[in-house]
Amino acid sequence: MMKFIFMMIFMMPLSFCSLKFWFNQFIYLFLTLFFFCFGFNYLFVNVGYGLGADLLSYSLILLSIWICSLMIMSSGNIYSNKVFSNLFLLVLLILLISLYCTFASLNVFIFYLFFEISLIPTLILILGWGYQPERIQAGVYLLFYTLFASLPMMISVFYVYNYFDSMIFFFLDGDLNYLVFYFCVNLVFFIKIPMFLVHLWLPKAHVEAPVSGSMILAGIMLKLGGYGLMRFMVIMMGVGLRVNFFIISMSMVGGILISLICLRQGDMKSLIAYSSVAHMGLALSGIMTLNYWGMCGALMMMVAHGLCSSSLFCLANISYERLMSRSLYLNKGLINLMPSMSFWWFLLSCSNMSAPPSLNLVGEIVLFNSTISWSFFLMIILFFLSFFSGAYSLYLYSYTQHGKIYLGMYSFFLGYIREYLLLFLHWFPLNMLIFKSEYFMMWV
């Protein structure tokens, strides 16, 4: 596992080569291929230097490298305007290293350390390359929401070592049946995923972040919460059986409320950000059922949502770069100007509402099975959740593509090949993974 870290460290000087912006992206894609050929197992493989990967880690590391490579592709404006493009590449590389170490770590403390470190490059991305002055407030929200639950989590990590005499995930075999411990550990993951009621930092951060910041937030940072819960719920089964009822109820009802908020949004990025809260609420409910289907469905949903939500933010940014507004009231009638781009809006909106053949569909089917087997009454809430998911995805598509166009404000330029390739590289794995969806059922 160390060979990938060394490769990323030795990529740092490349960030400062002013003419090598797109070459950096090529190296990221090469790293993706290199890691893809590495292989995985349902147990930790290639263990060494405190690092290893099972299927859960492997999927999320692969997703991280892929999204980071696409972040460079989406940031053509940073390169063309020469807005500290070298520093941008360096921050991105540090972020990828921290995410890699978070997902590959076998040690609870190292996991916690890099979990918190990953916040810093994300904050720099928002503050450094965000669009409006409000990005400072968004950065403060992101920082303090995470820091609020950080200290209890650190104390809990030391308690885990005191209890098990080990910090290796593989050897944490027992049941810490304490309610205070449960909340101290899980609160930081609930904020990160984010759970309804502690989600307010997410729409603010997304709206003020540059396209690369929105992609990494939606694609990877939300998955840190799900990953942490999957790793730690093993040692909290007893208290989980008593408390998870409240968490699932809150996530499900919150998902419906958030879906209604989506239907009233006038900002494209804000709508996509709120839809992330609804989708990840379903994944959180799957994890909290503590059954096999729930864990596998949550992993599928996390990978699918990482690709789908990231691509929708790219689409919103493509419109923003031409009109300089994210408002749905101004971004109208785009099907008249960019019919090819409307086709991608349609495909990715369908994926967002879990239409076949996207991986979102399989993830939702598995999660529905998991939650209904836990409680039959959740079928009513799932019905509304599924219906509203389709409603706000169609609302986003129809509002942006149809209607009266403001000809005096919009550029007639039909888009770069780079932008179409960027959308294809999101959509293709999202819809091809359904053919190998059985792999996601192997890790538990």
Place of tokens 């590289």: 425
Written in H, E and C, the secondary structure of the chain is CHHHHHHHHHCHHHHCCCCCHHHHHHHHHHHHHHHHCCCCCCCCEEEECCEEECHHHHHHHHHHHHHHHHHHHHCHHHHHCCCCHHHHHHHHHHHHHHHHHHHHECEHHHHHHHHHHCHHHHHHHHHHHCCCCCHHHHHHHHHHHHHHCHHHHHHHHHHHHHHHCCCEHHHCCCCCCCHHHHHHHHHHHHHHCCCCCCCCHHHHHHHHCCHHHHHHHHHHHHHHHHHHHHHHHHHHHHHHHHHHHHHHHHHHHHHHHHHHHHCCCCEHHHHHHHHHHHHHHHHHHHHHCCCHHHHHHHHHHHHHHHHHHHHHHHHHHHHHHHHCCCECCCCCCHHHHCHHHHHHHHHHHHHHCCCCCCHHHHHHHHHHHHHHHHCCCHHHHHHHHHHHHHHHHHHHHHHHHCCCCCCCCCCCCCCCHHHHHHHHHHHHHHHHHHHHHHHHHCCC
pLDDT surpasses 70 at 413? no
Q: Which of the pair, 111 or 403, is modelled with greater confidence?
A: 111
What are the tens digits of pLDDT across the range 289-347?
999 999 999 999 999 999 999 999 999 999 998 888 899 988 888 888 888 899 999 99
Instruction: Tell me the percentage of the chain whose pLDDT exceeds 90.
Output: 75
What are the tens digits of pLDDT across the range 211-253?
999 999 999 999 999 999 999 999 999 999 999 999 999 999 9
| Contact residues for 304 (Cβ-Cβ < 8 A; gap 6+) | 351, 358, 359, 360, 362, 363, 430, 433
From 78-82, 102-106, 328-332, the region with the lowest mean pLDDT = 78-82
Instruction: Tell me the percentage of the chain whose pLDDT exceeds 70.
Output: 97
Closest by CA to 147, choosing from 158, 139, 135, is: 139
Average of per-residue pLDDT values in the chain: 91
Do 347 and 420 contact (CB within 8 A), yes or no? no
pLDDT surpasses 70 at 444? no
The confidence score (pLDDT) of residue 410 equals 59
* pLDDT bucket at 18, cuts 50 / 70 / 90: low
* pLDDT bucket at 409, cuts 50 / 70 / 90: low
- d(CA 77, CA 156) in angstroms, rounded, equals 43
- d(CA 444, CA 398) in angstroms, rounded, equals 40
- d(CA 181, CA 197) in angstroms, rounded, equals 20
- d(CA 164, CA 166) in angstroms, rounded, equals 5
Which pairing describes strands 51-53 and 45-48: parallel, antiparallel, or unpaired? antiparallel
What are the tens digits of pLDDT across the range 117-167?
999 999 999 999 998 888 999 999 999 998 899 999 999 999 999 999 999
The confidence score (pLDDT) of residue 389 equals 95
Place of tokens 């309804």: 196
The confidence score (pLDDT) of residue 157 equals 94
Q: Is the dihedral of CA 190, 303, 352, 71 positive or negative?
A: positive
131-137 long-range contacts (CB < 8 A, ≥24 apart) are 131/208, 131/210, 132/208, 134/204, 134/207, 134/208, 135/208, 135/209, 137/204, 137/208
The confidence score (pLDDT) of residue 408 equals 61
Written in H, E and C, the secondary structure of 12-61 is HHHHCCCCCHHHHHHHHHHHHHHHHCCCCCCCCEEEECCEEECHHHHHHH
Question: Cα–chain-centroid distance for residue 184?
Answer: 23
Burial class from Cβ neighbours inside 10 Å (0-12, 13-18, 19+) for residue 303 reads buried
The confidence score (pLDDT) of residue 407 equals 61
Do 426 and 308 contact (CB within 8 A), yes or no? yes
The confidence score (pLDDT) of residue 42 equals 67
pLDDT surpasses 80 at 44? no
- d(CA 119, CA 95) in angstroms, rounded, equals 8
- Amino acid occupying residue 437: S
| Contact residues for 188 (Cβ-Cβ < 8 A; gap 6+) | 115, 146, 149, 150, 152, 153, 225, 228
What are the tens digits of pLDDT across the range 335-387?
888 888 999 999 999 999 999 889 999 999 999 999 999 999 999 999 999 99
Domain boundaries, the chain: 2-441
pLDDT surpasses 90 at 411? no
pLDDT surpasses 60 at 412? no
Whole-Å CA distances, 395 to 7, 263, 266: 44, 7, 11
Q: What angle do CA 243, 252, 390 make, to 5 degrees?
A: 160
